[in-house]
Amino acid sequence: MRSRYKYAVSNAPVLRPNRLPLRLHIPEPVARPGEAAHFGNLALAEAGAVARPDIDTVEADVRHLPYTLIRVLDDDGHAVGPWAPGLDAEQLIAGLAAMLRTRIFDDRLFRAHRQGKTSFYMKCTGEEAIAVAQSMALGRNDMCFPTYRMLGWLMARDYPLDALVNQIFSNAADPLAGRQLPILYSARDYGFYSLSGNLGSRFGHAVGWAMASAYRGDEGIALGMVGDGTTAEGDFHEALTFAAVYRAPVILCVTNNQWAISSFTGIAGAETATFAAKALAYGIPGLRVDGNDFLAVWAATQWAAERARANLGSTLIEFVTYRVAGHSTSDDPTQYRPKDEADHWPLGDPVDRLKAHLIAIGVWDEERHAALTKQLDDEVKAAVKAAEAVGTLGASKPPVGEMFECVFKDADWRIDEQRTELGL
């Protein structure tokens, strides 16, 4: 075929001297299955090494914070440095209990899925400190716009366990009446906004909520959460724009657990920059925090909350953590990352670290820990048993008429007719 163009284009590269051909870069993690796992690229800092600015410090003076790592608990279990939040033993033990309850619940309900008792489950193993510390650090008038790895928020506020299991089983006692996928809870009275499977779409709701609170002159603030993968969504950036523009009393957080299903953080844009550094362009403070350090999470959340409550606007916090489990019950992480990668994670396990701290300050021991574990295990077992008595997935479900409820406040004729067509 003859070219339409007067000058035919050759496929042969014609390079100018000293110029390399262009090359498309596709980011790859440091190790895939069968390769040696390591986290040598992860920038760390010593516990206690980062100064804690006053909350009214201007943003221009905190621009180094996205590129360091705020940590409180050192390797010996001591709380060190200016970010140590000074919690009493009772608070610390309550935090440990909520984290442990979360982990035990996750393990048992994951097994329930494998036993065919539900259709779906997601664990937050290794990330428990984030939701629990935030839940305890924030107040009853504040609203969390959670990710699906924030069961700890509800655990820290003593949400009834059997209601959780009923929701997971979509049984007749499901508080969401069978309309929502397991674990996508909604618990307004517990400061827990309605979850959905797509995370970024509610980041802006957190900003709107916070703006509404400010508009009314109320006291509550909002907490928006996404994962590392979601930072690539436009929703993330639009929420940050609105938060910055209107100085909304909101804390916007990225749980960087290293993996978005099978994509490592480089695919989300963090091969050279940190997620906390996204804050820089919006002119708001960005903190990078050890997410496996209960005390650091608490302290960073509290710092951001104090700023929000003082009308100083929003803060972006990146919590550096590791997703120990698969993305969900439908995922097998050994397909895309080294099997033993979790063992190489440099920031340890959040439960073990808080436990070591409690032992180091002399308020805890192995015996009490074993007793607490047993007690929580019994509680979870009892809740699962109670929910099983109502029924597991398929064996029991809410009245089918619930399918037609809550589409609108008042159903229109379509819903009414279809309800009748179904024989209701």
Q: Phi and psi for 301 in degrees, rounded to 5?
A: -65, -40
Q: Which stretch binds other proteins (CB under 8 A): 3-11, 232-240, 280-288, 317-325?
A: 232-240
| Contact in structure between 327 and 149 (CB atoms under 8 Å) | no
* Lookup: tokens for 331: 């995922």
Does residue 422 belong to the site contacting other proteins (CB under 8 A)? no
Does residue 140 belong to the site contacting other proteins (CB under 8 A)? no
Shorter beta-carbon distance to other proteins: residue 78 or 179:
179
Shortest Cβ 411–other proteins spacing (Å): 10
Sign of the four-CA dihedral 414, 415, 418, 424:
negative
Among 57, 91, 241, 373, binds other proteins (CB under 8 A): 241
- Per the document, the length of the chain is 424
* Lookup: tokens for 315: 């803060």
Q: Is 336 a catalytic residue?
A: yes
Shortest Cβ 182–other proteins spacing (Å): 12
Shortest Cβ 21–other proteins spacing (Å): 37
| Binding characters for other proteins, 47-66, by CB under 8 A (x = yes) | --------------------
**Hey, what's the torsion of the CAs at 25, 29, 33, 38, to 10 degrees?**
150
Pick from 286, 319, 315, 300: nearest CA to 62: 286
Q: Which stretch binds other proteins (CB under 8 A): 33-41, 70-78, 192-200, 360-368?
A: 192-200
* Lookup: tokens for 152: 């700890």
| Contact in structure between 169 and 117 (CB atoms under 8 Å) | yes
Among 209, 259, 264, 364, binds other proteins (CB under 8 A): 209
Of 101, 323, 337, 357, the active-site residue reads 323
Does residue 179 belong to the site contacting other proteins (CB under 8 A)? yes
CA atoms within 13 A of residue 209's CA, in its CB half-sphere? 24
199 Cβ neighbours under 8 A, 6+ residues apart = 147, 148, 225, 226, 227, 230
How far is residue 318 CA from its own chain's centroid? 10
Shorter beta-carbon distance to other proteins: residue 180 or 396:
180
Shorter beta-carbon distance to other proteins: residue 218 or 332:
218
Q: Is 323 a catalytic residue?
A: yes
Shorter beta-carbon distance to other proteins: residue 95 or 204:
204
Does residue 170 belong to the site contacting other proteins (CB under 8 A)? no
Does residue 176 belong to the site contacting other proteins (CB under 8 A)? yes
Number of neighbouring beta carbons within 10 Å of residue 311: 9
Among 48, 208, 286, 326, binds other proteins (CB under 8 A): 208
| Binding characters for other proteins, 211-230, by CB under 8 A (x = yes) | xxx-xx-----x--------
Does residue 235 belong to the site contacting other proteins (CB under 8 A)? yes
Shortest Cβ 283–other proteins spacing (Å): 14
Pick from 53, 56, 51, 50: nearest CA to 308: 56
Please provide the distance, in angstroms rounded to a whole number, between the alpha carbons at the two ends of the chain.
67
Longest CA pairwise span in the chain (Å): 87
Q: How many residues interact with other proteins (rule CB under 8 A)? A: 44
Q: Residue 13 and residue 4: Cα distance in Å, rounded?
A: 21
Does residue 300 belong to the site contacting other proteins (CB under 8 A)? no
Shorter beta-carbon distance to other proteins: residue 29 or 224:
224
Does residue 400 belong to the site contacting other proteins (CB under 8 A)? no
Q: Residue 191 and residue 222: Cα distance in Å, rounded?
A: 9
Q: Is 327 a catalytic residue?
A: yes
Query: Which residues contact other proteins (rule: CB under 8 A)?
Result: 175-177, 179-180, 184, 186-188, 193-194, 196, 198, 201-213, 215-216, 222, 234-235, 238-239, 241-242, 245, 405-409, 412-414
Q: Known catalytic residues? A: 323, 327, 336
